[in-house]
Amino acid sequence: MSFLPKSRKARRRLTILLAIAPVAALAAGLALYGMRDSISLFYTPAQAQEAHVPAGRKVQLGGLVQAGSVVKHPDGLVEFVVADQKATSKVRYQGDLPDLFREGQGIVASGSFDESGVFVAKQVLAKHDERYMPREVAKAIKAQGEWRGEGSGKPSYDAPGASKP
């Protein structure tokens, strides 16, 4: 009993399919392998703590810069705290910050957590006007139920679990 179809045309199609399938699977596998380092997941501080992001994994961390947390060192190192409604994360960045970076503003930092749990940023992006908030930050804040909508004031996080009206 043969598993091949009786029709010559159907056998030819099956042979072509069996020849192309492994090549396509190999191409897809190589593409995914090549992109593994370029994938960057977005987290708020609370989501990063819940997900237990491993040290060294490239991610984006977003939230509001906590008031009074920015410390600029003479060697160009800047340390600050990014907060959401539930948690905070300490961020360390070496370099020049964007001109619009300041306390109470929404930011997105790209980098990774180190072994001590400090986020080491390679890039920091700040919002560009009063109404703009990075899409990922707005989505995460809405998911936490903290979104205040247009014109009702922006949230300000000074400590985990505390917000000012």
Assign 16 to helix, strand or coil: helix
| Pure H helices in the chain | 8-35, 45-51, 135-143
Q: For residue 137, what pLDDT is reported? A: 76
CA distances from 86 to 2, 41, 123, 159 (A): 64, 19, 24, 9
Overall pTM surpassing 0.85 (yes/no): no
Which residues, including other chains, have CB under 8 Å from residue 108's CB and lie 6 or more apart? Answer: 42, 60, 61, 62, 124, 125, 134, 136, 137
Retrieve residue 115's tokens. Answer: 């072994």
Which residues, including other chains, have CB under 8 Å from residue 12's CB and lie 6 or more apart? Answer: none
Among 87, 132, 74, 86, CA closest to 108: 132
pLDDT at 119 over 50: yes
Q: For residue 35, what pLDDT is reported? A: 83
For residue range 121-160, what is the model confidence (pLDDT) as tens digits? 999 998 665 566 677 777 877 787 766 655 445 555 555 5
Q: Find the radius of gyration of the CA atoms of the chain.
A: 24
Report the amino acid identity of residue 98. Answer: P
Q: Which residues pair with 111 in a beta bridge?
A: 59, 121
Q: For residue 165, what pLDDT is reported? A: 41
82 class by beta-carbon count within 10 Å (0-12 exposed, 13-18 middle, 19+ buried): buried
pLDDT at 109 over 50: yes
